[in-house]
């Protein structure tokens, strides 16, 4: 497949780390929240093996924050998500589907409760700020909504713990999954969460003080030499094997959270008000009509740039393959597919045209591992 370069402009925003990753050998970009997001540093498969053994620094500044503060901020954040935040705590992260009034997914961010009157919504790729502003205007909420200058640097991989301890001390190793706290680097405070878009463990540094953040970036690479540190980025193979969903790829506004397996983040019985609640009750009573599942194909190569129809053995379309890659772990192609009921049961046979061949695959559970 021929590749094309990306035409940069002000609209397609660079990050404070862009000049660094370009010196360090970034080879592909994608666009995320109107911003450059690195997609490869050479071979995806080599990066995958490295990530599973060592530590990588990722420029994930494209994961923008929507800051909502003010008297009605809790009300507005709750209005946007089906996850019950009434007992949420300061210093915690919450993975929250954001829904519209028809229960269609708008985004699947991590919500950070800075305090009761200040929240950061760490968004996937859709314009949540416009949705939030519209809701605030329509409801006459007393809130301030803005995109602060926060540029996340992720430190991912099993050696991230040793590396971060060397820079921030023992206290950082005591941080629990999805907790965040403030840590000092040469006199500057940085919000650091134990989170990240890989299942290999690690941290995300929400850099507000960019001068200090860039020093920290360079320091991590210096100290990281002994941990075989490399620059990296969200890895397609690792994230599919781990079942981390990608908004816009695996699900979009045409899907509801039950269809995407977000059941544990849906609180219909809580005494809270959110968009799509009545619709979700109806969907729950009637049952879903399609579901996100895993599929496996006994082939060695795939490159997806749009969804591929999935058919049953009588050539009826039963769903679509939305993301896929070759998995070194399984030695075959694995993918994430939206499949109609009743075809979404494990072991259902699916047929797809891949690399000009008709291939046969099987439905399986998510996550794969
Ligand atoms: N980090 C931050 N912001 C983000 C992402 C991130 N914004 C965009 C995108 N990624 C949001 N999507 C996800 C999807 C999954 C997870 C995090 C963000 C995730 N899920 C865990 C899992 O599935 O095991 C935990 C979910 C839970 O149980 O609460 O980590 O990566 N800052």
CA dihedral 91, 280, 247, 245 (to 10 degrees): 70
Indicate whether this model's pTM tops 0.75: yes
For residue 297, the SS3 value is strand
Q: Which residues pair with 361 in a beta bridge?
A: 297, 350
CA angle 205, 214, 231 (to 5 degrees): 70
pLDDT at 200 (0 to 100): 98
Atom of ligand 1 nearest to the CA of 246: 12
CB 90 within 8 A of CB 117: no
What is the share, in percent, of the chain residues with pLDDT greater than 70? 100
174 within 8 A of 164, measured Cβ to Cβ: no
Tokens of 349: 């046979």
CATH among 3.30.1360.120, 3.60.10.10, 3.40.800.10, 3.40.50.2300 for 18-60+150-240: 3.30.1360.120
* For ligand 1, atom 2: residue with the closest CA: 122
Q: pLDDT means per 10 residues in the chain (369 residues)?
A: 87 98 97 98 98 98 98 98 98 98 98 98 98 98 98 98 98 98 98 98 98 98 98 98 98 98 98 98 98 97 96 96 98 98 94 95 95
Alpha helices by DSSP H, listed for the chain, are 18-23, 44-53, 73-80, 128-138, 160-168, 210-223, 236-242, 277-286
Q: Whose CA is nearest to atom 32 of ligand 1?
A: 122
Q: What pLDDT score does 347 carry? A: 85
Mutate to test the pocket of ligand 1, among 110, 124, 199, 369 (most ligand atoms within 8 A of CB): 110
CATH superfamily of 65-146: Aminomethyltransferase beta-barrel domains (3.30.70.1400)
| Ligand 1 pocket, CB under 6 A | 63, 95, 108-110, 122-124, 152, 178, 195-197, 204, 244-245
The CATH number given to 289-369 is 2.40.30.110
**Torsion-angle region of residue 312: left (phi > 0), alpha (psi -120 to 50) or beta?**
beta
Residue boundaries of the structural domains of the chain: 18-60+150-240, 65-146, 289-369
For a ligand 1 pocket test, name from 62, 82, 97, 122 the mutation site with the most ligand atoms within 8 angstroms of its C-beta: 122
Report the nearest atom of ligand 1 relative to the CA of 264: 28
Atom of ligand 1 nearest to the CA of 243: 23
Q: Whose CA is nearest to atom 11 of ligand 1?
A: 109
What is residue 277's predicted lDDT score, i.e. its pLDDT?
A: 98
Q: Which two tokens stand for residue 329?
A: 């772990």
E-assigned strand segments in 43-167: 56-59, 65-69, 92-95, 98-99, 105-107, 110-115, 118-122, 144-146, 151-156
Give the residue, out of 81, 195, 200, 266, with the most ligand 1 atoms within 8 A of its beta carbon, to mutate for a pocket test. 195
Beta-carbon contacts of residue 208 (< 8 Å; ≥ 6 apart):
148, 149, 150, 190, 191
Q: Whose CA is nearest to atom 8 of ligand 1?
A: 124
* Integer Cα distance of 336 and 302 in angstroms: 13
């Amino acid at each position: 497949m021929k590749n094309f370069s990306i035409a940069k402009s002000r609209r397609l925003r660079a990050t404070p780390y862009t000049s660094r990753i370009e010196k360090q050998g970034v080879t592909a970009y994608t666009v995320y929240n109107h911003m450059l997001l690195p997609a490869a540093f050479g071979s995806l498969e080599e990066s995958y093996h490295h990530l599973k053994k060592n530590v990588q620094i990722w420029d994930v500044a494209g994961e923008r924050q929507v800051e909502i503060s003010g008297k009605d901020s809790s009300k507005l954040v709750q209005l946007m998500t089906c996850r019950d935040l009434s007992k949420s705590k300061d210093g915690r992260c919450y993975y929250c589907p954001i829904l519209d009034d028809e229960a269609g997914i708008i985004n699947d961010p991590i919500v950070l409760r800075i305090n009761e009157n200040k929240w950061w919504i760490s968004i996937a790729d859709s314009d949540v700020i416009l949705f939030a502003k519209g809701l605030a205007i329509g409801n006459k909420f007393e809130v301030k909504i803005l995109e602060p200058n926060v540029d996340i640097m992720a430190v991912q991989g099993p050696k991230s713990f040793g590396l971060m301890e060397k820079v921030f001390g023992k206290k950082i190793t005591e941080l629990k999954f999805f907790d965040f706290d403030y840590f000092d680097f040469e006199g500057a405070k940085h919000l650091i969460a134990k989170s990240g878009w890989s299942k290999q463990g690690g941290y995300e540094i929400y850099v507000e003080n960019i001068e200090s953040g860039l020093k920290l970036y360079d320091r991590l690479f210096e100290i990281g030499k002994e941990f075989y540190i490399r620059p990296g980025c969200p890895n397609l193979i690792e994230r599919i094997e781990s079942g981390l969903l990608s908004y816009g790829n695996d699900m979009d506004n045409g899907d509801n959270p039950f269809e995407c397996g977000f059941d544990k983040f849906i609180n219909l019985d809580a005494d809270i008000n959110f968009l799509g609640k009545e619709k979700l009750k109806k969907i729950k009573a009637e049952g879903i009509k399609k579901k996100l599942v895993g599929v496996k194909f006994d082939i060695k190569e795939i490159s997806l740039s749009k969804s591929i129809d999935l058919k049953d053995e009588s050539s009826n379309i039963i769903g679509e393959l939305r993301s896929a890659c070759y998995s070194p772990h399984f030695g075959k192609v694995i993918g994430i597919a939206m499949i109609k009921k009743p075809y979404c049961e494990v072991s259902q046979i699916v047929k797809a045209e891949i690399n000009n061949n008709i291939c046969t695959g099987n439905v399986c559970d998510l996550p794969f591992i």
